[in-house]
Amino acid sequence: MKRCSIVFHSVCGNCYLIATAFHDALRAEGVDARLYHVDDDDLHIWANKFEVANDYYEEITNLPVANAEKMLKSDMIILGSPTYFGNVSAEMKQLMDSSSIYFNDGSLSGKYFACFTSGSYVEGGGVLAIQAMIHYAQHMGMIHIPVGKQVHHIDPQQPDSGIMHHSGPESEVRPSDRLEKAIVFYAKLLAKELQEEPREH
Tens digit of pLDDT per residue, the chain (201 long)?
899 999 999 999 999 999 999 999 999 999 999 999 999 998 888 887 778 888 899 999 999 999 988 899 999 999 999 999 999 999 999 999 999 999 999 999 999 999 999 999 877 799 999 999 999 999 999 999 999 999 999 999 899 999 999 999 889 999 999 999 999 999 999 999 998 765 554
Domain presence at residue 200: no
pLDDT of 37: 97
- pLDDT for 46: 80
With respect to residue 169, please indicate whether it lies within any of the assigned structural domains.
yes
Domain-embedded: residue 185: yes
Q: Is residue 151 a part of any domain in this protein? A: yes
- Beta-carbon contacts of 69 under 8 Å, excluding residues fewer than 6 positions away, are none
> What gap in Å lies between CA 97 and CA 189, rounded to an integer?
28
CATH at 26: 3.40.50.360
- Separation between Cα atoms, residue 190 and residue 76, nearest integer Å: 9
* DSSP sequence for 36-73: EEPP-TTHHHHHHH-GGGGTTHHHHHTSPBP-HHHHHT
State pTM to two decimals.
0.94
SS3 call for 139: helix
Nearest to 179 by CA among 89, 113, 117: 117
The answer as to whether 97 is a domain residue is yes
55 within domain boundaries: yes
- The range of the structural domain enclosing residue 103 comes to 3-195
Domain count, the chain: 1
Within a domain: residue 201? no
Q: Residue 108 carries which side chain, given as an amino acid letter?
A: L
